Amino acid sequence: MSWVGGKKALREEIVQRFPLSYERYIEVFGGGGWVLFHKLPGRDFEVYNDFNSLLANLYRCVRDRHEELIDSLRYVLNSREDFELIKQALARDNVNLPEGQREDALGRSPASDVQKASWFYQIIRYSYASALTSYGSQPHDMRANFPLIEQAHRRLKDVVVENKDFEKLIRQYDRPVSLFYCDPPYHATEGYYQNIGEDGFTEKDHIRLRDALLSIEGKFLLSYNDDAFVRELYDAPGIQIEAVTRLNNIKQRYDPNCQFAEVFIANYDMTERQRAATQLNLFDFGQEI
């Protein structure tokens, strides 16, 4: 699913840097779930978390009530007026809306978790660049998404969906066999993430995340923008930092080759899976040489 900061372009790079052995997989800043859905399901216990309550509710409904969700989306209209009314109804601070808009929004408050999930999904699909803020003014057949919802339902059937602050989540699920994948809002870009259902991410939160991760028993893999603040934050014994690049999604419209610099940060050897695959190829005697 499209989401601000989604990891579609780097999902394979990320999974290839997972450790060989872990029994708990916890996606701390789940967002669009690109890494979770790309990761093959195994015997490990899986957790999807996001602090955005609307997003967590959407994933729970996809997992547990997907048929009701699909039915609620079957006859929706793609219109600017409906988009604005739904956005207002989902906003946390309806009391701060102008009086006339406030009455419309409160009159359309979602009656159930499924309706709330349906409205939020419409906002994602119909907004410009899935940013949740402005109407995209593009034709979109909602029925084309139904097979994707079915696939997501099957993948999520054994996944725990949480809606917790990252520090509480890490503390709750930390074990020596845990792997935490973290994709927090990037430093100095936090404003892009402050949308419906979100409170924003501060510099203190970046530091709080660092402190939580450096104290765990388990392993963590972190993706960030390549930033001096971030590098200094994780300049600690036993921490690996690897620079990577990807296409810059925002600038590629007018500069197709523009790259965005990112880093992977981990408290373990990020090459162990790749080295194990190389060794397997070298000694796979079932193959002709």
Q: Annotated binding site for S-adenosyl-L-methionine, which residues?
A: 3, 7, 50, 183
CA 45 to chain centre: 18
Contact 218, 24 (CB under 8 A): yes
Contact 35, 11 (CB under 8 A): yes
Helices 113-126 & 53-64, crossing angle to 10 degrees? Answer: 110
Q: What is the C-alpha to C-alpha distance for residues 190 and 188, in angstroms, rounded to an integer?
A: 6
**E strand intervals along 50-167:** 160-162
Helices 66-73 & 113-126, crossing angle to 10 degrees? Answer: 60
Contact 170, 212 (CB under 8 A): yes
H or E element in which residue 198 lies: none
- Which residues on adjacent β-strands are paired with residue 240? 266
Residue tagged 């996606």 (tokens): 27
Question: What is the secondary structure of 243-285 as a DSSP string?
Answer: EEEEE-TTTTTT-TT-EEEEEEEESS-TTHHHHHHHHHHHT-T
Q: What is the C-alpha to C-alpha distance for residues 56 and 80, in angstroms, rounded to an integer?
A: 25
C-alpha distances in angstroms, 231 versus 187, 222, 264? Answer: 11, 12, 10
